[in-house]
Structure 1
């Protein structure tokens, strides 16, 4: 589902219908002025991502059409300009989406080149990172990748970086951090860093023509108030519900 907006060209909008515990994801290409410097481009991408985040949050978390009372409150709120999420930041720089009626929702934003990605979930334990394909210098390779990983292809190196940075964001932790110490289980789609006391997360990967995007979030079994059958652990991001106007593939293994 795409929101009508001048910023929304080439949108990947990720919707999961199984419940609000699962994350939503949107990836978009920014609309840039004709002649722009690199600094101006980055500024425009950040500004468009910021505007789009608030608009998209309001759309994602709007009340169900079956809830008449909630719909009535929404109409009143829209007329009084109160129906709006605001983005606040923790001391560590982690963004949170706050609404006067709905409370706090998890949100994470990333941008690379002319692309940006936004994710939201009911829980605050959420992180996203988008990486346009690029080469890594020797220092970055030593710091971010294990000896085995350094021999891999550029798309896979970007995916590894994205997973690890999204993992840190899901904990409200940013760079610098020795990325190579973060362990990725490609088969189980799990990532952890026990030596740094960072809890395990699930992850999903989305590949586009120019970028790879990783999203990290809590496994369902970490929600004790939910009585999920064991066979439903963990939740999987289902690419069949992905509506996109750009080529995108969901992959999770080293064969990517």
Structure 2
């Protein structure tokens, strides 16, 4: 199986009177082998990363990263054509997990497609599912678990301000193989003079009996709609990760939920 991911693409005009992101799309890809990650060793860690994203030009080459911080690694690369990449793989400092890692990849590049041929910047942001996936025969067949979760997204305002974030709960009913949640998220950073955006994100989906994957819909009374995909990690599904997209008024954001 490949590495599922969600992708947010923002296009930012660069001329002096046109500096805010003018477009933002999001998509969920559960089939592509998006990025390869090999993790070994302790206390010294080794990670091999190679880019396989299919939605934009691939120029992040294979690289070995050796690091001593058990909580994570950050890898950055740049090119003369002003294409830049950033990759981060680690733990959330105030929400430590054992079997999963918070993983994202960010890239940016430029063209001359802005107003009157001006430069514009493409910012591509991906959240990925990474960790020790629960074996299919180790997923509980009965009972429920209420997971404590950390949620965050890419920007939802498209004006240079931040996404929404929250701590909340996701419930997995193993007997009926359903996933449900209602999390109230609030914008973590916003432009002075504006009010922060809040969104109640409702998740409803199913746990597959064939491969243990989770998928379903995201709805909100605040006008956001989208899809989610996730997996259980660790023995007996001790932890969980969900990646999702949400869109409103034709503009999209990508998000992740890490649970334990």
TM bin, normalised by shorter chain, reads 0.3 to 0.5
Under a length normalisation based on structure 2, what TM-score does the superposition of the two structures give?
0.34
| Structure showing the higher helix proportion among its residues | 1
| Structure showing the higher strand proportion among its residues | 2
